[in-house]
Amino acid sequence: MEDASRGGSKRCQVVGCSFDLTAYGRRYYSKKRLCPEHLKAEAVQLCDTEGLFRFCQQCGKLERLEAFAGTRRSCRLGLHKRRLNHAACAARQQQQQRGRPHRSSSSGSSASCSGCNASADGDAARRQR
């Protein structure tokens, strides 16, 4: 027998929303305790906490509206983290590129390597003469 007062609250935690998450049948929503609509909402008010919240896609949880800049779906901290990750990733890629020898046989050789084209043209011109 289930305790309805405690364990039965598989509903959206937003004020005024009675979306039954168990009926929806997706673990994701029941875990976050948010219905699909409020998962995307710009601001929601929770039943048990004061203030406005928004679901942060970066952190995968509800965060206070003050943590977001504008109408972004990721909080400032999340964006900052992502930027750091991206910077680290870019640095890693640069190191890899440095390690590898330059290949001029790529598709963009004509644009990137004008010197080779010039010499090739010169060779062709010499052969024609």
**Residue 20 vs 123, nearer CB to Zn ion:** 20
Least distance between Zn ion and beta carbon 29 (Å): 9
Least distance between Zn ion and beta carbon 28 (Å): 14
**Residue 23 vs 125, nearer CB to Zn ion:** 23
**Helix/strand/coil for 21:** helix
Least distance between Zn ion and beta carbon 19 (Å): 4
**Residue 46 vs 113, nearer CB to Zn ion:** 46
d(CA 100, CA 95): 9
Query: Site residues (CB under 5 A) for Zn ion?
Result: 12, 14, 17, 19, 35, 38, 56, 58-59, 63, 75, 78
d(CA 75, CA 54): 9
Q: Considering Cα of 20, then 47, then 81, then 86, what sign does the dihedral take?
A: positive
